[in-house]
Amino acid sequence: MPDQSWGAIVLSDAGKAFRGSTWEEASSSAQELQLLWKHVKTLHSLGIHHHDLEPRNVAKGRDGNLRLLDYERSSLGGSSCSCEELSTLEEILDSLADWRQ
């Protein structure tokens, strides 16, 4: 779909968005950031790139599940991505703990 726009309307409460304008300020735990990193890495392996991965675009539902929001800047296709989503999360996680498994 490179030349097409599409969208989806989600008719449910996504949950409470993380607070803060940076990951350091976000009300998220190291475990949540690690889970988010794993999910984003999986999306990248499928060719889906968010391109606006910020705390305001991540919500935690009542069920405890994390949800990525606002795919307006996302792209589909291609395995190479110049975005810094994963490396930014890696740097923050590296500063918090030994999280790589």
Domain that holds residue 84: 16-96
pTM for this structure? 0.73
Q: What is the DSSP string of 31-100?
A: HHHHHHHHHHHHHHHTTEE-S---GGGEEE-TTS-EEE---TT-EES-S-----HHHHHHHHHHHH----
Q: What is the pLDDT of residue 82?
A: 62
pLDDT at 1: 43
In a domain, 89, yes or no: yes
Cα 92 to Cα 22: distance, rounded to the nearest angstrom: 10
**Domain assignment present for 87:** yes
Highest mean pLDDT range out of 17-26, 66-75, 80-89?
66-75
CATH number where 41 lies: 1.10.510.10
Query: Which of 6-10, 39-43, 49-53, 57-61 is least confident?
Result: 6-10
Counting the structural domains of the chain, the total is 1
Question: Which residues are CB-neighbours of 6 under 8 A, at least 6 positions away?
Answer: none
Q: Is 79 part of a structural domain of the chain?
A: yes
50-69 per-position pLDDT tens digit: 888 888 899 888 888 888 88
